Each structure stands twice: as structure tokens, then as C-alpha cells.
Amino acid sequence: MQKHFIEIDGARMSYVDQGQGFPVLLGHSYLWSAAMWQPQIDALSKHFRVLVPELWGHGDSEAPPATTTDMSALARQHLAFLDALGIDKCHLVGLSVGGMWGAELAIEHPERVDRIVLMDTYLGAEPEATRLKYFGLLDAASGAGFFPDPLLDIVVPIFFHAGGQTVPEVREQFRADLKASSAEAIRQSLDPMGRVIFGRPDLLGRLGELPAERTIVVCGDQDIPRPPAESNEMARIIGCLAAQIPFAGHISSLENPKVVNEFLLNWLPRNR
């Protein structure tokens, strides 16, 4: 996977830029990287220009600049990314935090986004119980300066189908990558980014501003952190379609890539 680099707010952001045609912007999940979208990059880049910016402190992007104080800042930084590449309009597919900043970007700058796919994401505030749980996990990782095995035993399963060992090699690689995180990466990137994500404000009241006929909400049928009930709630507010990816948890792009690829290729117009 070839990476490119661009400076946003004084920090270096890495991104993938593959294929030609109408641009598709893919936003990845917290604790992952552009590699989370590899099956979709391979499939979509045959028909589209696929762009995958990497979240601050993830993949090869530098630690978040001081301006990254909230979700609105992430939306603004990704708009700056589009501006820097001269992209006037794109399809936007955001999974988890990619959907959080993606929806805000689409609401604030509707002229920049054609189709919007919100995957395994939720634009409400994080429920207090899970927010406190996640903040506790961040405290533990930052305090230790690494991800101890008991912590990995909690964190890793959150991202996958609960009912079986789907994609075991992906799970093992994800665990190994987290285990290899440095104290600096955890304390300067993963911890502050996690607090931005899990401390986000409630944006449900603005979801109705998204264009219902050009928006769809999708999630893995076994998503633990962002269950289908949340997707259905957002779809009702937007007035748009909702769909589930079978046999998939939070990282549905990797757990059932065939279905995700077929859906995206069918739903995203190739000429705009």
C-alpha cells in the first residue's frame, strides 16, 4: 500500500490515493489504519479515485496537532485535505469515527459530498457507561505505556463479531499491532484521539440535514460498540435506508468484505 503525505495544521497526515475517476473518500476506525479498507481499495479503485486519509497517530500520520480538540476539528481538517488535493466533490464512506467526522463534514459542507455511507458509527453522544469504560481503558493504557494482555483481551473483541472466530488472522494482526504501540504513540495520539471520539457531543439533532436520498446507514449485524439499533435510530432521523452486513462486527469492511464491496459498487454512482 503506497502512502502519500500532506501537511494539515502543521502536522503530517498520511493517505492512500489509488485509482482514477470520481473520488471516494474512505474514513477508517479508531485504532486502525488505511489497511482496514484494503479490500475496498482494491475493488473500488478499478472504477473510482479512492482516497484514504489516516487518522492522527494512526498508520503513518503524525500525532494530532494542537488544533485537534474535538470532532468539528477533525471534520475541518478533512475538508482541508480535500481542498489541498483540489477535490470539489466526492462520495464519502465513513466507518466508526470516519462516519462521525464524515457526517459533520457533509452537514457543514453539503456541496462537497454526493453519496454518504455511514458505517458502524453513531452520531449521538457516547452513552455514559461506555464512555466511562473507554476512558478507563485509555487511562490504563497510558498509565502502563503499553497495552497489557488483560487490556488487549478486553479491547480486541470489541471490534469483531461476538459469535465466533471470524477472520482469525485479522484479529491476531490487530492484537499484535496494538501490543506494539509505543508509550509515546499511546500517550500523544491514541489517548487524546480516543477522548475526542468518546467525548463527542450529540449530533443527532442535525442528522436531518443530510440528504435522505443520497445517504445510507450500514452496520455489521453483530457490531458490539455500534449495534444495529443505533444505525436504525439514525436512519429514522435522516429518513434514509438502513442496511446490515451479515456475519460482521464493527470492522465489517474486513469481516465481510465481499458484501461490503458489492454494496458500495452498486450504490455509489461512478459518473458525477
**Domains and their CATH numbers in the chain:** 4-126+201-267 (3.40.50.1820)
Q: How many CB atoms lie within 10 A of CB 88?
A: 9
- The label of the residue with cell 476539528 reads 73
Please tell me the distance from the alpha carbon of residue 78 to that of residue 101, in angstroms, as a whole number.
8
**6 close to 82: Cβ distance less than 8 angstroms:** no
Phi first, then psi, for residue 244 (nearest 5°) are -120, 145
Please measure the distance between the N-terminal and C-terminal CA atoms of the chain and give it in whole angstroms.
27
The pLDDT score that the predictor gives to residue 29 is: 98
- What does the alpha-carbon distance between residue 173 and residue 188 come to, in Å, rounded to a whole number? 23
- What is the per-residue pLDDT for 162? 82
Q: How far apart are CA 92 and CA 116, in angstroms?
A: 5
Tell me which residues of the chain have a pLDDT lower than 50. Answer: none
Contacts of 128 (CB under 8 A, 6+ apart): none
